[in-house]
Chain A
Amino acid sequence: MNTPDSNSGAVKPLVDLEQLQSACDGDAGLMRELIDLYFGQADEIMAGLGKGIAAGDVGEVNHLSHKLAGSSLACGMTALIPPLRHLEHNAKAGHLNGAPDWFAQAGVQLEAVRTFMRDYLSQNSP
């Protein structure tokens, strides 16, 4: 499943399945475990990010966006990486300009990825 990129018109995958497979070395059990870990952590981080942005806490926003971007990269959840990198980049530079928008975009992508993975797992369950 792919989603259109509103900026370029190019089609980018929501999830890099090859990377996800690689992260769990083709082990279906480990894949489920990593996916559960990922979404559990992502929800927690997104909640923290929302609070950090509201409080104008650049340190917290920097740390949390870096953390979620890192695990998104590791699990191949590529759709979340650009908005998170923007948040991280700006927070590192000491400001939160546009942070609510990037945060909202990250939230939308997270839900899209969650739906994608739910479908994927139900189609690929043994």
Chain B
Amino acid sequence: MRKILIVEDELVVRSIYRRKFEMSGYQVETAEEGSAALKLLPIYKPDLIQVDIMMPGMDGVEVIRQIRAWPEFRDVPILVLSSFYRPDLAKEAWKAGASKCVSKMDCTPNLVLELVEQLLGGENTGQTPKFGSIPLAEGALEPARPSPARKPSGFATKLTLKQDATSPKTPTPPKAAAEPEMVEQWPPPDALEAPLPKLKVSLDLPPSTGSAPSRPTFGRENEGAAPSKPTTRPSFSGPSPKTSETDQGEPIVQEEVPTGESVPADAAPASGPDFRMEIRQDFLKRVPQIQAELRERVGALIKSKSATDQLRLLKELEGSVSSLASLAGITGFGRVSHLSGALDALIKDLRKKPNQMTASVLRSITHAMDCLNLLFRDLNQMPQEIPQSVLILVVDDEPISRRTIAVSLGKASLRCIGIEDSTVALTILQENPFDLIFLDAEMPGLSGFELCTELRKLPTNKSTPVIFVTSLTKFETRAQSSLSGGNDLIAKPFLMMELAVKALTYLLKPPASADAKSGPVLSDE
């Protein structure tokens, strides 16, 4: 019987994987932390090690380094569970010798089991694995490689522009791309349907090649044709095939995403059909406790005055949020998992840069918590799919700001269209519905507030969430923002993860509440 060692600090996650592997015929041992795992290693001699990357004390990367330092464990497959929002850690894990990295936010026990079997070279026959034949860098978090065969898709191809009153109207709404658009090159400006010779339009996108690695996708690449984008609010959900292929033609194993009332049965016969249902029910039972803990910790953080207290409270909150991200991921609650995962990354950033703990950040954390509560409320009533085709508009006359926003959104694998000129933006907004809009408050020509007032008159964007990105944080600004129809504010300079969390808060919010202008209250500080 093949032996697996699970190194994971989260008790529930540990138990779920232990059960899953045992049901599939593996012998399993667990270690709560790195040093315990290293002590166990020479005695237990596992055939495969599953390591959580983010653990208190010795982190996953260090555990992998130390494992690989032992000659007899140099070739043992190591499967790493990492955070979607910390690709840097996945990279570190690879450098340290991980065999495969998967995002906790998207991996379910079935997916992990598939990967384990793949890493062990096939069936659980009790034979010694031939790990050497498995390529090291093929994990789900591997930086995406652009495929020459894959036609670049992008939101820009969907835009229509009406340049003047005499131009023929092209009221074509943006078409949803045939493929998810979280990775790949942004199309060049000449890919626009309508020429933009006289207009100042720039397309900002997160780095996808060169110095910065491409962001991983949400884990559901090539889902086939998504539904066309309607002129009303877009639908985020699309078909979720159980399997698809990567750019290289390698199959990606995907579990069907649960969609509320009809919870799909666990597909693996060896695991029993009720396994997934059972772990979901366990999670649902824990939700009130999780909510209470989060509420208490965020409340304490907001009230705390001293830097020492804030650091301690951030650490506690990080523990709760990180655990939630893992549990929600494992049970298939994708929206909760992604939002809490992003929040976890923001809190980690704040622990490193405590001087960045501004009122704006606290507000973003609070709003994310509000959104999590809405998601908890609707866990069984709404699809859990992650938005696949999202249109975000950024209007800012300042290129550095546009670039920074684009890179920040890229941290959540979101891409945006950056427009310098607010008048041009209004033209685009007349024809194209967006899912989210970021506006600079002070711009020449139409100010952000004026633009917001105007776009609220447009059928295409009357209810699109609008977030002002501004260095103006006075009360009057908030009042102006609210009066013009804005939903929220974020203060410059911002932490990149803060902006990513802010965007996800609006994009992952249950559709009913996202449609209504029910954005976070602006006068809560």
Contacts and interface: CB of A to CB of B under 8 A. Distances in A.
Interface SS of chain B = loop
Contacts of A34: 400, 403-404
A63 B441 CA distance: 12
A23 B493 contact: yes
Nearest to B355: A18
Contacts, number: 58
A86 interface: no
Contact of A70 (B207, B355, B398, B403): B398
B342 to A, nearest CB: 14
Contacts of A71: 398-401
B210 A74 contact: no
Interface stretch (A25-33, A95-103, A109-117): A25-33
B443 to A, nearest CB: 8
Contact of B493 (A33, A66, A74): A74
A94 to B, nearest CB: 17
Interface in B392-429: 397-401, 403-404, 407, 411
Interface residues of B, number: 23
Contact of B492 (A27, A28, A30, A73): A73
Interface in B203-231: 207, 210-212
A70 B444 CA distance: 14
B404 A70 contact: no
Chain A residues touching B, majority SS: helix
A22 B495 contact: yes
A19 B358 CA distance: 14
A121 interface: no
B353 interface: yes
Nearest to B210: A29
A33 B402 CA distance: 13
Interface string B453-473: 000000000000000000100
Contact of A41 (B207, B400, B411, B442): B400
Interface string A70-95: 11011100000000000000000000
Given A27-B211, A29-B210, A63-B444, A22 B356 contact: yes
Nearest to A66: B442
A30 B208 CA distance: 12
A19 B492 CA distance: 11
Contact of A29 (B212, B353, B496): B212
A48 to B, nearest CB: 11
B400 A18 contact: no
B248 to A, nearest CB: 25
A75 B400 contact: yes
A23 B211 CA distance: 16
A75 B403 CA distance: 12
A5 to B, nearest CB: 21
Contacts of B495: 22
A25 B444 CA distance: 29
Interface in B490-505: 492-493, 495-496
A55 to B, nearest CB: 16
Given A37-B400, A70-B398, A70-B471, A27 B212 contact: yes
Contacts of B496: 25
B83 to A, nearest CB: 15
Contacts of B404: 23, 34, 74
B403 A33 contact: yes
Contacts of B471: 70, 73
A23 B398 CA distance: 14
Nearest to B211: A29
Interface in A32-78: 33-34, 37-38, 41, 63, 66-67, 70-71, 73-75
A67 B211 CA distance: 28
Contact of B400 (A19, A28, A38, A66): A38
Contacts of A37: 399-400, 403
A83 to B, nearest CB: 17
Nearest to B497: A25
B357 to A, nearest CB: 13
A29 B353 CA distance: 21
A114 B110 CA distance: 54
Nearest to B442: A66
A63 to B, nearest CB: 5
A70 to B, nearest CB: 6
A30 B398 contact: no
Contacts of B444: 63
Given A63-B442, A67-B397, A73-B471, 19 more contacts: A18-B353, A18-B355, A22-B353, A25-B407, A25-B411, A27-B207, A28-B211, A29-B207, A29-B210, A30-B407, A34-B403, A34-B404, A37-B399, A41-B398, A70-B471, A70-B492, A74-B404, A74-B492, A74-B493
Top 8 closest pairs, chain A to chain B, by CB:
A29-B211, A71-B400, A74-B493, A25-B496, A37-B400, A63-B444, A37-B399, A27-B212
Interface of A: 18-19, 22-25, 27-30, 33-34, 37-38, 41, 63, 66-67, 70-71, 73-75
29 contacts: A18-B353, A18-B355, A22-B356, A22-B493, A25-B407, A27-B211, A27-B212, A29-B210, A29-B212, A30-B207, A30-B211, A30-B407, A33-B403, A34-B400, A34-B403, A34-B404, A37-B400, A38-B400, A41-B399, A67-B397, A67-B398, A70-B401, A70-B492, A71-B398, A71-B399, A71-B400, A74-B400, A74-B492, A74-B493
Interface of B: 207, 210-212, 353, 355-356, 397-401, 403-404, 407, 411, 442, 444, 471, 492-493, 495-496
